[in-house]
Amino acid sequence: MFSEASIKNMLFIDVETASSHKDYTTLQSENPALASHWPKKAKLIVSPKAGKPELAHLSDEELYAHESPLYTEFSKIVTVSIGQVVFSDDGQPQFKVKSYYADDEFTILEGLNKALFALFQRNPNLKIVGHNVLGFDMPLILRKFVLHGLEIPRQLMLHDIKPWDSCLIDTNAIWKFGSWIGCTLDLLCANLGIPSPKQDIGGHEVSEAYWERQELERIKTYCENDVKATANVILKMSRMPLV
């Protein structure tokens, strides 16, 4: 599916988020204006059209703990990992990864922003690859760039780029092969015989791990495993050895 040259041209990415505040009470205390919007968001989340009516029994406080990391306005980025596949002289793939992680969201985004500008300057045709990168990771990152006053690279001005000219490659979209149904990265890895990236914690546990146990290093490792798993999906699709 992809050539060695194409894979060398890819940057794999994954983002991990926690709730913006430790709990809904803290949000109400520290940012009452933002907190006032959560009940309306909560109603949308549990509506039948939103696809999660099974959560309708949860209070606003419980729903904040459970769902807020999925929404830019109510979340906090705690880790972003990026990785690249390089090939040895005999064609064996190897994986390099770097993570930006901290308690301060701006510190993470500033480091990532500088890296992206440097990488695009070196290679204007770089492709950014992730699982659901079109629907979650990159929109989240770009909104956070705006929030923190960071410049968006020209290649990521997605509102002004034709879909076929986009630098984003989404493994979930590839796996759909034109259908409406995709799957989680964990399920895709299980199906393709790729080691699961969820051997320690799952995405829904990140917020608790961050706020309750201060396990930033653990979250960073989990994020790096996701990036490596996404790279392995691309390698598997391209009939190449895994890393």
CB 11 within 8 A of CB 119: yes
13-29: pLDDT as tens digits: 999 999 999 999 999 99
- Where exactly are the structural domains of the chain? 4-237
Q: CA 85 to CA 70: how far, in whole Å?
A: 28
Residue 92: exposure state from Cβ atoms within 10 A (0-12, 13-18, ≥19): exposed
Q: Looking at this protein, which amino acid is placed at residue 171?
A: T
Distances (CA, A) of 152 to 106, 185, 243: 14, 27, 31
Distances (CA, A) of 200 to 122, 123, 225: 35, 35, 10
Give this prediction's pTM: 0.94
For residues 126 and 90, which has the higher predicted lDDT (pLDDT)? Answer: 126
Token couple for 123: 């290679």
Is the pLDDT at 220 greater than 90? The verdict is yes
Q: CA 38 to CA 73: how far, in whole Å?
A: 10
Contacts of 155 (CB under 8 A, 6+ apart): 120, 124, 126, 161, 167
User: Which overall architecture, per CATH, does domain 4-237 show?
Assistant: 2-Layer Sandwich (3.30)
118-167: pLDDT as tens digits: 999 999 999 999 999 999 999 999 999 999 999 999 999 988 888 888 99
225-238: pLDDT as tens digits: 999 999 999 999 99
